[in-house]
Chain A
Amino acid sequence: MCVIGAGASGLTTIKNLREYGFEVDCYERETAVGGAWNWRHDRSPVYAGTHLISSRPLTEFPDFPMPDTWPDYPDHKRVQSYLESYARHFGLEESVWFGTEVISVVPVGDGRWDVTTQSTGGGSSRVQRYAGVVVANGHNWSPARPEIPGDFRGQMIHSAQYKDPAQLRGRKVLVIGGGNTGCDIAVEAAQQATAVWHSTRRGYWYAPKYLFGRPADQVNDRTLKLRLPLRFRQWLYRRAIALTTGDLTRYGLPAPDHQPYESHPIVNSQLPYFLGHGRIVAVPDVSSFDGASVVLSDGRRVEPDLVITATGYRPSFEFLAPELLDTAEDGRPDLHLHAFARKHPTLAVVGLVQADFGLFPLAHWQSVAVARWLRLRGTDPEQAAAVQQKESTRPLASWSRRRVVPTPRHWFEVDHTDYLRAVEGLLREMEPAR
């Protein structure tokens, strides 16, 4: 089997494939494990202040917990050290070819694949044949940059290039983007920069990190455990926000144009604090640049020295022909459970999912499902065909979040309980007959 990428998703895929008896070659273009969390390399989106957005119990691998003495929201250095100890504990590095980039993955018929790799230092390429390919190349490394007309005389960077608060010190900063990164950077800028504008296109539900003294996601999961209906949970969410964060429209933020649970959760306790202290000024969308100034959609002008676009990332699979993943023209792949290629039973993607939950456990269960599927194909083709037949009738609405704000940001958004229930259903179908 071939695994592409040795970040969190790739590592758990190696581990689970090996647990199911497969031999694995993993290709990683960097020189160490960790992927996005490996802050030592350039492509990592991590900045100095990065902490987990979901709390520790909802983020750790289900079979390899983080130390229980760690804080509720560990920082990125701890997360990286966690991934390193995961790799060491399970001896995963022996399956990884570091400094090796995958150039192309081509089906050769009969379910097998030709994978062309090349050393990142250049040199000749090498082709290997594999019985299956699992893509775990991450989706937070290829920056999505907004197209803003006009010329800007100041400095403009994507949040991927933002690493250290020193970059903000003493400057006038405009942060574009209302995601978790945008909010984090605005908050850091509030403590470093001389002026901070935070531009968001729409209103969001800014959840606090703590509710009733517990991490807010743990409180939220209590409502899921009780299987409360969505409408009631939305009402609870609105009440909880009204009682904690409060009404942010009086700071100039637009009211949310959607219900709670219809967008990726934004969790930031400090943003409202700095809005209230006037350290962050909320501004609407940017419509154009004009020399030293930035023109906003309401006609106002601001003059920052530094613009940081925290506008996220796009998935990118340069080594795969788009039709293999049923990728639409806008770049959105169409995969069963956001993991299984619909027309190629030996091709899967792990970690291409976003949820109100940590990614590691979701990637773990995805890779368990992939491993069990690949094994079943080998041991019991008849049952595999039956599973495939049954899965093709699984309704999309049962695992994909039904209603979300229709932006690329939410292409892979799922509700973790619905999603895990669907994956568990699949795992049960693939139980070996006893």
Chain B
Amino acid sequence: MKSDLLRFEDWTNPVPAVAREVVSLTEGVEKDRPPLLFVPGLGHGAWAFAEHWLPQAAARGFPAHALTPRAGGDLRAHVHDVVQVAASLPSRTVLVGHGVGALVVAYAMGRYPAKAAVLAAPVTEGWPTLWAALRTNPVGTIPALFGGRLKLSRKQLFGPDLPAEQAQRILDRVATARPRRELITHDPAPRPVGDPPVLVVGSPDDRIVPRVSLERTATRYGGAPLLFPGMGHDLMLDVAWSEPIEAILDWLGKQS
């Protein structure tokens, strides 16, 4: 059985430090509110949250931060980055992960007693996501299976309502990523430390994270997913971006 206490990997081979890009909005926030740390997934950076969710959270009084995961890092390095940034904030942080970023958050919860966590459209199960991606976007996905680049498509990321021009602008910003094999082969995420409340949000029309997958993830954390029909995978950039973030902030308000 893998040990929780004997962390030889961290002791003998610590993740090297890098300069991390963190976008923060903390002006005019309320003192007793916990800080939020947004963690984007594959191909996305802090910019994906800086667009709508970050200002919205700050407007509701939450100190809001978004992290760009280090380029070329593996899951362990990304978890390290999230825990490093969370620990550098003044109080227990709420981790909000999206897509593969939600997987990173799920792992980070095993390392850091988060105040709460939100898994948005979480890519916590590799196989269902792979099948869904192959069905929706075979041309963009197949090269990634052979170590090539993954090219996400409009159909995967957004619902039909987002104007084409706006969608293209965002797609141009999404970097082509090389997903690692470990996205499929990783162990189930560790049990969270400190028993944080966990919310799973997603869309039944997400072409990357199937609904069953969402439900299984939510069940694992003892709840049901909060669903936003009609939206694509990119909940924070699709036309109806305000609905999920408002729901998340309402939920957070009820936690303390």
Contact = CB atoms under 8 A, between A and B. Distances in A.
A330 interface: no
A258 interface: no
A10 B204 CA distance: 48
B195 interface: yes
**Does more than half of chain B's interface fall in helix, strand or loop, or is it mixed?**
loop
A89 B112 CA distance: 12
A24 to B, nearest CB: 15
Contact of B12 (A56, A62, A67, A218): A218
A88 B80 contact: no
A67 B8 contact: no
A62 B7 contact: yes
B105 to A, nearest CB: 15
B182 interface: no
B37 to A, nearest CB: 13
A218 B9 CA distance: 10
B8 A225 contact: yes
B92 interface: yes
B3 A65 contact: no
B117 to A, nearest CB: 14
Interface stretch (B82-90, B124-132, B208-216, B242-250): B82-90
Contacts of B89: 89
A57 interface: yes
Given A62-B7, A365-B5, A67 B92 contact: no
A285 interface: no
Contact of A420 (B5, B15, B193): B5
Contacts of B16: 68
Contacts of B5: 62, 365, 420-421, 423-424, 427
Nearest to B4: A424
A63 B111 contact: yes
Interface string B87-111: 1111110000000000000000001
Given A421-B3, A421-B5, A88 B90 contact: yes
B108 to A, nearest CB: 10
Nearest to B10: A57
A88 B113 CA distance: 14
Contacts of A217: 11
Interface string A83-100: 000001111000000000
Contacts of B92: 89-91
Contact of B195 (A19, A67, A90): A19
Q: Sort chain A's interface into a size bin.
A: 20 to 34
Nearest to A361: B5
A67 B91 contact: no
A221 B84 contact: no
Interface in A188-233: 217-219, 221-222, 224-225
Given A63-B193, A89-B91, A222 B12 contact: yes
Interface string A405-427: 00000000000010011011001
Interface in A293-316: none
B61 to A, nearest CB: 18
A154 to B, nearest CB: 44
Interface in A60-80: 62-65, 67-69
A67 B90 contact: no
A221 B11 contact: yes
Interface string B1-42: 001111110111111110000000000000000000000000
B183 to A, nearest CB: 24
Given A19-B194, A424-B3, A68 B84 contact: yes
B8 A224 contact: yes
B227 to A, nearest CB: 28
A91 B115 CA distance: 12
Contact of B91 (A64, A88, A421): A88
Contacts of A335: none
A387 interface: no
A58 B11 contact: yes
A67 B113 contact: no
Contacts of B193: 19, 63
Contacts of A221: 8, 11-12
What 7 pairs across the A-B complex have the smallest Cβ distances? A225-B8, A68-B17, A420-B5, A57-B14, A424-B5, A221-B11, A221-B12
Interface of A: 19, 56-58, 62-65, 67-69, 88-91, 217-219, 221-222, 224-225, 365, 417, 420-421, 423-424, 427
Given A63-B112, A90-B91, 14 more contacts: A19-B195, A57-B10, A58-B11, A62-B7, A63-B111, A69-B17, A88-B90, A89-B87, A89-B91, A89-B92, A91-B91, A218-B12, A365-B5, A421-B5
